[in-house]
Copies of this chain bind each other. A is one copy, B any other.
Amino acid sequence: MSEAAAIEPIGKRERTKVANRQAILAAARRVFAQMGYDAASVRDIIRGTELASGTFYNYFRSKEEVFEAIADDAAHRFKPLLRAARERARSFEDYLRSAFHAYFAFISEENKIDGRPIDERRPHVRSDTPEMMAVYEEVRQGLEDAIARGLAPRIDADYLACACIGIAQEVGAAMLRRAPANVGAAADFAVGLILKGLDGAPRRG
């Protein structure tokens, strides 16, 4: 066993710290999905772990902070996908399509993990965590960059970023309601609408 520990040189102190934090977050995901965010209590969450009630407050100040950590984590995992879409894009249209496709695939996968056919447990969250603001900033930067390169007209990048995010959220939610979710079709719709408006959106059939 002497060589195994060398791979992870961190001490047990830090190891259990991240393990406990992850245990709380995992329990919170289960509890929120099962009984709903509002009905869930800090005690419900901590009961889903092996920890004592007081220990919870060593990691989070409240149930809301746990929720924000979950949302922040999702944004943190999504951000590199968005960044990659920007860097690999060979055109503005390509960027838009990749970005929307990535988002729709992401929420499609995230809701699959929740497993439960519970309809309304999706984190349509308006609480602005640092990573969520970073995602917004990434979107805005991507759009402003395209404007600066002359790939898009000089319009209000802030409003445009908000519009893109709003479309992504609402069309994404509608896509999930349709079974099975068609990620490509949803992305085509969003990109077509943004690029050319009504005439750019795919005809239905």
Contact = CB atoms under 8 A, between A and B. Distances in A.
Given A123-B124, A152-B198, 19 more contacts: A38-B64, A119-B126, A120-B126, A122-B125, A122-B126, A153-B203, A155-B202, A156-B201, A156-B202, A156-B204, A157-B204, A159-B201, A160-B201, A163-B167, A165-B166, A165-B170, A196-B196, A196-B198, A197-B197
A186 interface: yes
24 contacts: A36-B125, A38-B64, A38-B123, A38-B125, A120-B125, A122-B125, A123-B125, A155-B198, A155-B201, A156-B201, A156-B204, A157-B204, A158-B174, A159-B201, A162-B167, A162-B170, A163-B166, A163-B170, A163-B189, A166-B166, A166-B168, A193-B194, A195-B198, A196-B198
Interface string A36-51: 1110000000000000
Interface of A: 36-38, 62-64, 67, 119-128, 152-160, 162-163, 165-171, 173-174, 186, 189-190, 193-204
Contact of A153 (B189, B195, B201): B201
A96 to B, nearest CB: 10
